[in-house]
Structure 1
Amino acid sequence: MVRNNLINLYLIKFAKWFNLVMPVVVLFYQDNGLSMQQIFLLKSIYSIAMVLMEIPSGYLADVWGRKKTLILGGFLGAAGMAVYSFSYGFWAFAAAEIILGVGYSFISGSDSALLYDTLKAAERDKEYIKQEGWITSAGNFAEAIAGVCGGLLATMSLRLPFYVQFGIASVAIPAALLLKEPRLQSIELNKSFKSTLNTVKETFQHPLLRSALLVSSFAGTASLTFAWFVQPYFKEAQLPVSLFGIMWTLLNLSVGVSSMFSYKIENKLGQRNSLLVIILGFAIGFFLAAWEVSLIGIGLLFFFYLVRGIAHPILKDYINRYTDSEVRASILSIRNFVIRINFAIIGPALGYLTDQFSLSLALIATGTGFLVSALLSMGPLWKANIQRSN
């Protein structure tokens, strides 16, 4: 079962991250008559759809089954791309964004929960960081390669990447159908949503889980925020537009490489030192980027992306380690929910700092905010200092 589920989880990750559309989506929107204001509004609609469904989808994954929610997410992901492929106006695009946002919410959390429980059922849960790291690495490699391929397809037609993306997104459907639910989740749980929320509340009272969830959420928010700073950084550094896609590809490749070795780093350093490396590494990454906004400074961006690749498999493992199987997907969905809410709150403020003052000031503010928040949240994990070995 482990081998079968790993192969199909890789395929689901590939279908989700091999995004041919991203390098040309703004050009596609503009070619269909959308203004920049409408483009940003579409992204807001996507985020709202995903946030509203994040916790309900986690609940369904726990009581209905992770396999079923992954199948539904696969169908919605393909449906969203199909709508995009044959649409030409704002409202049709908005419908596609809603479908994609809801579909993503059914996959996020469910995939990691099923992976952890698959390994736990086989008494191989100590391998989680390694397997999560390799799957994350595969996703980043896929995203990097897709950036180049999408640009090449767009030279023939701006709509062609959407047609091909529909086929790629559809790969998630048979992959999800072939998954096997681990025995930990094979018995259907007849629990009400209120009962599940109470269980989540009780679980969240565990100090180690609460600490892991908060630190992981703050790290996720920092990663998402930094990603949105990258293109303004390229522009301010006067990087030629023709090199944007290449640099984006290289940054994502660096995440993929470091993710592959995250489990070795955690085994070597232990929980306490791993936390320090992650928290200080993220903060230093922001400060280095703020220090030198130039063509030479672009090299400093790789520091943050290397730490990012190390961080997320390790921090997800800390959440899974202290979470009961029956609410695992719900807890992971709460993590994603917190990340999106945090970004929705700080995003406009950081945009204001960038527009009215400077990109460097916005980077420093974000790095400082992350450092303070993460240090205040890490106490129980720091005290636990669990040393693991495979």
Structure 2
Amino acid sequence: MNDAARAIQRVYLTLTLGNTIAASFIWGINTLFLLDAGLSNLEAFAANAFFTAGMVLFEVPTGVVADGWGRRTSFLLGTMTLAGSTYLYYVLWQISAPFWMWAVVSVLLGLGFTFFSGAVEAWLVDALRYSGYEGGLETVLGRGQMAQGIAMLVGSVAGGVIAQATDLGVPFLLRVLVLVAMFAVAFRLMHDVGFSPDRSARPVEATRAVLSASLENGLKNRPVRYVMLAAPFTAGVGIYVFYALQPFLLELFGDPKAYSVAGLAAAIVAGSQILGGWLAPHLRGLFHKRTSVLILTGVIGGAILLALGFTRLFWVALVLLALWAVMGSAALPVRQAYVNDMIPSKQRATVLSFDSLMGSSGGVVVQPLLGRSADLYGYPASLAIAGVIELLAVPFLLASRRQAPVADGATTPTTTPTSGQDGPETTG
């Protein structure tokens, strides 16, 4: 890696570290926070579903911002939107607000995250290629995953401990403060490199053009299409499981007020992310095709959730949780590299946002469904059902593999057209 690429990587890791530590202050206690505000399990996970609905609603418009006004602009807007909506969450908790208010603010939270989704990853890939980086994307993306894990480890443990020492609202205020600081850091360090925003089109025309490009280079590109169609199952389950594990583990532990245990659960996921990020390029090296990694980790992850649903021992549940998180964390950089090598630079942020939209759409349906199953049958049964749903992604990954795209076997960024498209060929 040359000096220019190292500089890009440093900025990427700094932004990833800061943003994740801000977000993770509440990850260990978010479900407990919603339940403490007076919401039922169904309402708590419905609030999370409104968050993902916000991501579905705003993914394409914020993709227009990222590709039309710049990835830096999108990141800055995201920090301020997320800071403001997080503060509103704190206010709703203080006043024991009715559910409809939680739904509205959850949508705004989703808006904040859509400014990030696709933009940072697109900025990184284009800047690395502009700098002359010729290595595999899994290496840098894996390091980003490790940075996320470290930040999550610090933030989630701190959030749980601080909540237990003070109250459940303080971690939300800490998130606001760190996000404001990240705005200043990104304003100074993050600049669009290897990409020139196109600001000539009007907003409606730009949205239409971007949506068309998303369809052309996403759903109409068969190998990408099938990966995207797998996303609702994996992403929807992943969001639910992460938040459901908080009350589930407290139930196994036997102390509903042990908020630090909920933080410990998030910390184990964080440690697994660090391990998974390190493991990703090594795991990729064991297989000729990237889809082999995705299929294997998907099958193992679904099986682990099934086993978790039948577990009644706290420490066994923690071990299974760690294994599940490692599988997902190791697969993510491989999936990111696979998709990035099949889409063009000009629409990269938009297609990645559309991919995120597909995952979020699964969360809109899966979270309330599993939340209701938790109300009716308990958390263990809902986790077993989640395992079955996650396994439904595997046939789509097999379908992507059958298209035999060049990116499936690539170990360095591809520049040749992918196969198996319905429309014009694209380059990665």
TM-score by length of 1: 0.87
Q: CA–CA distance in 1 between the matches of 2:409 and 2:51? A: 40
Q: 8 Å contact 1:23–1:147 — kept in the other structure?
A: yes
Contact 1:8–1:175 under 8 Å retained in 2: no
State the AA in 2 paired with 1:70. Answer: F
Determine helix, strand or coil for the equivalent of 1:244: helix
Question: What's 1:266 paired with?
Answer: 284
1:295-314 correspondence to structure 2 within 5 Å = 295-298=314-317, 299-314=319-334
Q: CA deviation at 1:229?
A: 3.4
- Contact between 2:232 and 2:363, CA under 8 Å: does it hold in 1? no
Q: Which moved more, 1:36-45 or 1:287-296?
A: 36-45
What is the number of residues matched between the two proteins?
Answer: 388
The aligned counterpart of 1:173 is 183
1:381 matched to 2:401? The reply is: yes
Question: Percent identity over the alignment?
Answer: 19
Aligned CA distance change for structure 1 residues 157 and 288 (closer, same or farther; 3 Å): closer
Structure 1 or 2: more helix by fraction:
1
Corresponding position: 1:193 with 2:207: yes
By how many angstroms is 1:73 displaced? Answer: 1.0
CA displacement at 1:358 relative to structure 2: 5.0
Q: Supply the AA of the counterpart residue of 2:120.
A: D
Cα distance in 2, alignment partners of residues 383 and 206 from structure 1: 10
- Offset at residue 377 of structure 1 (A): 4.2
Q: How does 1:173-322 map to 2 (within 5 A)?
A: 173-177=183-187, 178-185=189-196, 190=201, 192-204=206-218, 205-241=220-256, 242=258, 243-271=261-289, 272-298=291-317, 299-322=319-342
Structure 2: gaps (5+ residues): 413-428
Q: Give deviations 1:32-77, integer Å, cap 9, x for gaps.
A: xx32157566545433333321121112211221111111112223
Q: Partner of 2:309: helix, strand, or coil?
A: helix
Task: Identify the range of structure 1 (63-72 vs 184-193) with the bigger mean alpha-carbon deviation.
Answer: 184-193
Q: Which moved more, 1:118-127 or 1:99-108?
A: 118-127
Q: In the alignment, what sits opposite 1:335? A: 355
Q: Could you state the TM-score of these two structures normalised by the residue count of structure 2?
A: 0.80
State the alpha-carbon separation in 1 of the partners of residues 365 and 35 from structure 2. Answer: 27
Q: Distance in 2 between matches of 1:101 and 1:71?
A: 15
Return the offset for 1:125.
5.7
Is this contact kept in 2: 1:290–1:361, CA < 8 A? yes
Which of 58, 62, 71 is the aligned partner of 1:57?
Answer: 62
Partner Cα distance (1:170, 1:208) in 2 = 39
Seen in structure 2, the aligned counterparts of structure 1 residues 281 and 44 have a Cα distance that, compared at 3 Å, is closer
- Please state whether the residue corresponding to 2:129 is helix, strand or coil: helix
> 2:298·2:393 contact (CA, 8 Å) conserved in 1?
no
Given residue 353 of structure 1, which amino acid in structure 2 is its aligned partner? S
State the one-letter code of the partner of 2:112.
G
Compared with structure 1, are the counterparts of its residues 361 and 85 closer, same or farther at alpha carbon in structure 2 (3 Å cutoff)? closer
With 12-21 and 331-340 compared, the bigger mean Cα shift is at: 12-21
Q: What's 2:422 paired with?
A: none
State whether residues 9 and 175 of structure 1, in contact with CA within 8 Å, keep that contact through their aligned partners in structure 2: no
Match in the other structure for 2:139: 130
**Change over 3 Å in CA distance of 1:153–1:384 after alignment to 2:** same
- 1:11 to 2:14 alignment: yes
Please list the CA deviations of residues 162-182 of structure 1 after superposition, one character each: whole Å capped at 9, or x if unmatched: 443222112321232221212
2:79 to 74, 88, 104: 74
Q: Distance in 2 between matches of 1:172 and 1:145?
A: 17
Whole-angstrom distance in 1 between the partners of 2:240 and 2:327: 15
- Report if aligned partners of 1:10, 1:138 keep a CA contact under 8 Å in 2: yes
Per the TM alignment, residue 186 of structure 1 is displaced from its structure 2 partner at its CA by 5.3
Q: CA deviation at 1:312?
A: 1.0
Q: 1:267 to 1:375 in 2, by over 3 A?
A: same
Contact 1:128 1:317 in 2 (8 A): yes
